[in-house]
Amino acid sequence: MEGLRRSIASPTLVVVLAFAAMLMIPQVSSTRFIVGANMGWTSNVNYTIWARDKHFYLGDWLFFVYDRNQMNVLEVNKTNYETCNSEHPLHNWTTGAGRDVVPLNVTRHYYFISGNGFCYGGMKLAVLVEELPPPPTALPEKSGASRSTTFRGQIVIPAVFAIAAVWDSFIRFW
């Protein structure tokens, strides 16, 4: 009987603790953008228009999909971006597979071009990476009612842990 009680209590405790932990984890999100969407990284696509309605945040990723035999992904400075100069890239993201991922891990402007003359055909992308905006603020509190709600919220999770611990120790004792 004791083994049965332990086998029931342990999974219950694990589920309760996992659920409580999930509630405490902050919301984190990052986006992987396929550059050019269904067109990919190719000539005759206006990447300025493609990027116009998008927000790029710290932790997002750019995914370049292209013909690996002809094109590449070069990160350059603003001047080289504007003049399509691929001679001195800041970073060559080309891996040879035609599927390159660029992490946007610094808040700044990023400038990408494709060499071999493709930049002149429009294969250039500029993005501004920003900090993720803070979560929306709560609505103004009304009289005393919200204080009791906040107080209850501060008690619920510790109470769940305490009940689970007591339950587990009670089951182990018997």
- 57 has which bridge partners? 130
- pLDDT (0 to 100) of residue 169: 61
Query: pLDDT per residue over 78-89, tens digit each?
Result: 999 999 999 999
- pLDDT (0 to 100) of residue 143: 58
- pLDDT (0 to 100) of residue 22: 46
Query: pLDDT per residue over 8-47, tens digit each?
Result: 555 555 554 444 444 444 445 789 999 999 999 999 899 9
Domains of the chain: 2-27+135-173 (no CATH), 32-130 (2.60.40.420)
Rounded CA separation 112/128 (Å): 12
pLDDT beneath 50, residues of the chain: 4-5, 16-27, 147-148
Given a contact cutoff of 8 angstroms between Cβ atoms, the answer to whether 167 and 12 are in contact is yes
**Residue burial 25-62, b: 16+ Cβ < 10 Å; e: rest:** eeeeeeeebebbeeebbbbebebeeebeeeebbeebeb
Residue with tokens 């953008």: 33
